Structure 1
Amino acid sequence: MSLPSIFFHVSFIEPQAHYAEITMRIKGLQKPFIDVKMPVWAPGSYLIREYAKNIERFQVYTSSEELIPHEKISKNTWRIYSDNSDIRIRYSVYGFENSVRTNFIDDSHAFLSPVGTFMYVDDCLDYPVQVQIEMPDFWSKISTGLEKSIGLVNTYKAPNFDILFDSPIEIGNQDTWSFDIEGTLHECAMVGGGTYDKHRLTQDIRTIVAEENRIWGSNPNAYYLFITHNYQNSSGGLEHLNSTVLATSRFSYTQETTYKSYLSLIAHEYFHLWNVKRLRPKALGPFDYEAENYTTGLWIMEGFTSYYDNLIIRRCSFYDEKEYLQMLAVDFNTVYNRPGYEIQSAALASHDTWIKQYRPDENSHNTSISYYNKGAMLAAALDLKILAETGGQQRLDDVLKRAYQKFYLIENRGFEEHELMELIHQTTNVDVSEIFQAAHSLEELEYNLYFNKVGYEIVDLNTGLQPLSMGIKTINNDTRIIVKNVDRDSGAWKGGINVDDEIIAANGYRVDPTGRTIDYILTNSKEGDRVSLIVARDGLIKNLNIQLQYSNKKSLIVQRKENATAEERRLGNIWIALDQK
């Protein structure tokens, strides 16, 4: 018996007003009623986004255009009362949010995030689906990872809704070009102009893909699409099964620092082709599109990927050793200069991503960390420990390749964290339990135990300097000094400074917009001295008395260890890609 068919028609009657018109045809499904639903989140971006808020003018018709009764029974569910085997649902989608995970439609192009565009029939996610796109006359191209339907114009198909929801669609006049890399056809779709050099970018992508193919052993895709949205100033990315959506500045390509950051973003999102899209925790697929999908393992999926993105750029020789070590040090500084690292573990940050990672507030740095940065630190420890204890014969690369083969290619299932830890031991004969335990603990690893074994060390340049601090971060807002962050347990924290306070005067001096007044006071004071502040809070003047403390901010660098042994230097050369094994 053939499955019922589901067909979408997408058109753009008013793109300048940011609307897409959707017709959903459900044929061959005969029930007393049908519930159709809109996803509430996008896989890879762990936040309930309530895509149903952008749905308007929902109506249901028979094939003869007779209205069918329906009612909305939850925030994202419409119940249709009909046993008709051929119904048409029509609705409009509003899209005007520039991001890699939400719809954006205007008269220049349309970017469709499928989870925010297409509804699904309850309990029918495994049904095949087709999408036909009717473009305005002034658009000419469609870029998507969906497979084309033979014999139908601008029509694409997916074997199920999981594939549809994982295949973003770019429609407009994007600049596109294709190239083959080791048997996989790759396409670039550039939106919004930009100063990119197609030849250079193509060659650099080739280099990145070849290195990632080497790590994982094989590429699962025959086709892969890079959609890049070029803005005046933006950054970000979101992975998909055979595509990615990237955001960058249209001027980033002509500046070496920002261009290398874009290449690192490519390396990051492409790495996800394996790590998270296929090798994944059990909780991350099949997905529940209506609720949070909890896992403590994002420190592995995003953290490992964050470790590898810059390492791959180093291996490809885009970063020299100094540049790479500076990028690695960013992860350590980011974590250790947030008081939240003493509050939240990497595993808890993963679990709480739904309520913290994408909803930062003025106190977030005091209560949380990013599993991207902390996961990268833990991945570095794993890589270095495996390298050192196997004499450079194995490293984290080998573990990931083995895990991909076992859990995805052979068993086709998600893994539990303890299974990955056990697989590392089986593959390398190295016990890494202390690193996995550290991911679930507030106890910090002594990272130099790992770096020293390969001839490197982490050094805090602030050691012994002991500068004074009030424990605040401020911005200059139209010549007004406004408090934006207050560090936990700092003098400002204990003395009652609030975020959004305007600092007017300190110790009887009017505070100047450049911050020189406060700098002078800090430079000419000692620990325990008090600073008298006049602040404006919600239009009221307040006098505060703040006790100065030594700053605990770190300035960490990763550098070669001067007294490293020949064996440590050899291992370090393997790690830093000076001597590939």
Structure 2
Amino acid sequence: MKKTALFFIALFTLLMTNYTDSIAAENVKISYEVKFTEPQAHYADIEMTVSGLAQNALDLKMPVWTPGSYLVREFAKNLESFGVEANGKTIPFVKTSKNTWHINTTNINSVKVKYRMYCFEISVRTAFIDVTHAFLSTSGMFLYPNGMLMHPSTIHITPYKNWDKVSTSLEMVNNDPFTRTAPNYDILFDSPIEVGNQDVFGFKAAGVDYEVAMYGGGNYDKERLKKDMAHVVELETAVFGENPNKHYTFIVHNYNRGGGGLEHLSSTVLGASRNSYNTESGYQNFLSLVAHEHFHLWNVKRLRPIALGPFDYDNENYTTDLWIAEGFTAYYDNMIVNRTKLYSTDNYLGVLAADINIVENSQGAKIQPLSQSSYDAWIKAYRPDENSANTTISYYNKGSVAAFLLDLEIISDSKTKYSLDDVMKYMYNEYYKTKKRGYTDAEFKQGLEKFAGKNLDSFYQKYVNGLDQIDYNKYLGYAGYKLTDEFANTNIPTLGIKTSTVAGVTKVIGVSRGTAGWIDGINVNDELKAIDDQPITDPKNLLGDKKVGDKVTVTVIRDGQTLNLPVTLLRNNDFKYKIESIDSPSETQLAVRKKWLIYNKNTPSI
């Protein structure tokens, strides 16, 4: 037989096999039942049914990470009591990797898999269960059949005792709030579920129904939140020109001290402090958090780096563009709150200056480029240690700074015709809606250049891929502002260390690169005992009336031994920047300032 004939027979056989497998997979039905028999011990009992099988083997997998949080968290570590039944009998299985369970399904068309999940980690990224509520971070709860990520599934929840509510963006089945369905696993893993007696209220904004589910109580004012959250939604929708959701869910966990958020396609989970809603700073911080995570429904969940979808749930998904995905969102969260006019422009400029201070006072900004910070998120950003401040820079803070620089560059270069808003809207339409894929590094840069009207190679070389000192006054000058350092004329000595005092014991928890402590050998975990034989009585005023250049003896206990370290005090080189107007800004500068800080939804776009 000729090789060409053999080739076509092999190709036909392969295609028919794939076609047969596809037909077989289409007949598979997947459902879950979730019960809480021991919530006080933080357990969920899950029964997964996979029926309509026509294959000889079934591999079930647990994701190792959750999209939006770039760290392999090994959710399988929380799974126990795995067992399989078929035709009323227990059948064997083999665990073939850290997150894979292999089941022989020869002559078996339906299996029931029972397992338990231990859920006792309070964060917006991880599941938590106790007698008051259950938060199901779905990527860390539900197994999925390998090769069937595009399959729909149904989840039925049996609530514990008096729990009476379910809050999630997943659609109901037959109008039953305790039975939900997901069209595929990307949607399921992107749709957290809150079960309990949460305080639920809602509002409508941008044509979308919004639900807010508050757990943990708090001094929040529902009517004020409805109004202000709706305003945030409307302003963000105006940036992109549309709101792609039919409904959206805010799950808010209120704790004594809480923070953080995690974005999802049609929902978000927020951590908040329950008694901070009635302070100006607390309320502004909460609105900024709302604005940040909600902005992600466009930037990241739909307009995304090409590496972030379709997801590989077994491994890291690397991208150099988290400075856009997260940093630009961090810029917009405060800008959107500024656009609500709930706070003064001076307040906004103070928040922006705070970001600049974080970047410029970070020694890591001199070591790690912004693009590398994005790429190394998996091994550095979510695994900080005592030396992280000396070696890394946050793609949130420096990414936000990069966004404000680019915003002013575009406004100035286009003579106030365009802004960063136009870039975001264009990229959303071009890549999410038209090309239906993520963007590459080069493509986002081209989008920025389209509205800046010039090549941005220098900007990228200096500030994205390089370590150049940022020329803030060049960009702020476009709007008639300048950056001033309140510490510029000070000569205050410092050891360059951070300390923590617990039960009267003061320990070093950080040593800043290039400072006196760094040069003369003070270590993290050293217990500070005395300076020049004077016992430490006030950890907040270690140096008293000492001066720059003084030579002191720092007495520490290290590994049970007393050491006397000679240290020469150096000047505190930290910055305390503020943004203020230049004298007599020109009409051109005032026009840029107005475009930047005074929102007008009728601005033109390409």
TM over 0.5: yes
Q: Which of 403, 407, 424 is residue 400 of structure 1 equivalent to?
A: 424
Residue 552 of structure 2 is aligned to residue 531 of structure 1: yes
Of the structure 1 ranges 222-231 and 174-183, higher mean CA displacement relative to structure 2 is found in 174-183
Q: Which of 477, 494, 503 is residue 478 of structure 1 equivalent to?
A: 503
The letter of the residue matching 1:4 is V
How many angstroms does 1:464 deviate by?
2.5
> In the alignment, what sits opposite 2:573?
552
Query: Number of residue pairs matched?
Result: 576
How many angstroms does 1:104 deviate by?
0.6
| TM-superposition CA deviations, 1:206-249 (whole Å, max 9, x none) | 11011001111000001000000000101010000000000101
How many angstroms does 1:446 deviate by?
1.0
Q: Tell me: CA distance 1:12–1:256, structure 2 relative to 1, closer, same or farther (3 Å).
A: same
Q: Which of 577, 582, 588 is residue 567 of structure 1 equivalent to?
A: 588
Residue 249 of structure 2 is aligned to residue 225 of structure 1: yes
| TM-superposition CA deviations, 1:468-510 (whole Å, max 9, x none) | 2221112222223221111112111111100111111112322
C-alpha separation in 2, matches of 1:568 and 1:427? 19
Q: Which of 409, 426, 451 is residue 476 of structure 2 equivalent to?
A: 451
C-alpha separation in 2, matches of 1:289 and 1:325? 40
C-alpha separation in 1, matches of 2:49 and 2:316? 28
Unpaired runs of 5+ residues, structure 1, are: none
Residue 110 of structure 2 is aligned to residue 75 of structure 1: no
C-alpha separation in 2, matches of 1:318 and 1:257? 12
Residue 149 of structure 2 is aligned to residue 125 of structure 1: yes
Matches within 5 A, 1:275-290: 275-290=299-314
| TM-superposition CA deviations, 1:394-441 (whole Å, max 9, x none) | 000001000000000111100001111112223442333333332111
Residue 233 of structure 2 is aligned to residue 209 of structure 1: yes
Asked if the contact 1:357/1:370 (under 8 Å) is kept, the reply is: yes
SS at match of 2:371: helix
> In the alignment, what sits opposite 2:512?
487
SS at match of 1:356: coil
> In the alignment, what sits opposite 1:140?
164
How many angstroms does 1:330 deviate by?
1.3
Q: Which of 91, 94, 115 is residue 118 of structure 2 equivalent to?
A: 94
TM-score normalised over the length of structure 2 = 0.93
| TM-superposition CA deviations, 1:57-98 (whole Å, max 9, x none) | 000001x32011101111111111222110010000110111
The letter of the residue matching 2:223 is H
| TM-superposition CA deviations, 1:351-375 (whole Å, max 9, x none) | 1111111111111100101000000
Residue 491 of structure 2 is aligned to residue 466 of structure 1: yes
SS at match of 1:219: coil
> In the alignment, what sits opposite 2:60?
36
C-alpha separation in 1, matches of 2:143 and 2:172? 20
SS at match of 1:484: strand
Q: Which of 102, 114, 117 is residue 138 of structure 2 equivalent to?
A: 114
> In the alignment, what sits opposite 2:274?
250
How many angstroms does 1:514 deviate by?
4.4
Q: Tell me: CA distance 1:136–1:481, structure 2 relative to 1, closer, same or farther (3 Å).
A: closer
Of the structure 1 ranges 202-211 and 73-82, higher mean CA displacement relative to structure 2 is found in 73-82
Asked if the contact 1:340/1:364 (under 8 Å) is kept, the reply is: yes
Asked if the contact 1:509/1:517 (under 8 Å) is kept, the reply is: no
Asked if the contact 1:460/1:556 (under 8 Å) is kept, the reply is: yes
Matches within 5 A, 1:154-165: 154-165=178-189
TM-score normalised over the length of structure 1 = 0.97
The letter of the residue matching 2:447 is L
C-alpha separation in 1, matches of 2:343 and 2:333? 11
Q: Tell me: CA distance 1:146–1:463, structure 2 relative to 1, closer, same or farther (3 Å).
A: same
> In the alignment, what sits opposite 2:9?
none
Asked if the contact 2:419/2:451 (under 8 Å) is kept, the reply is: no
Of the structure 1 ranges 289-298 and 472-481, higher mean CA displacement relative to structure 2 is found in 472-481
Asked if the contact 1:33/1:81 (under 8 Å) is kept, the reply is: yes
C-alpha separation in 2, matches of 1:333 and 1:420? 27
C-alpha separation in 2, matches of 1:24 and 1:426? 50
> In the alignment, what sits opposite 1:414?
438
Q: Percent identity?
A: 44
How many angstroms does 1:150 deviate by?
2.5
C-alpha separation in 1, matches of 2:64 and 2:58? 19
C-alpha separation in 2, matches of 1:541 and 1:79? 57
Residue 36 of structure 2 is aligned to residue 12 of structure 1: yes
Of the structure 1 ranges 99-108 and 421-430, higher mean CA displacement relative to structure 2 is found in 421-430
Q: Which of 327, 332, 335 is residue 311 of structure 1 equivalent to?
A: 335
C-alpha separation in 1, matches of 2:152 and 2:539? 61
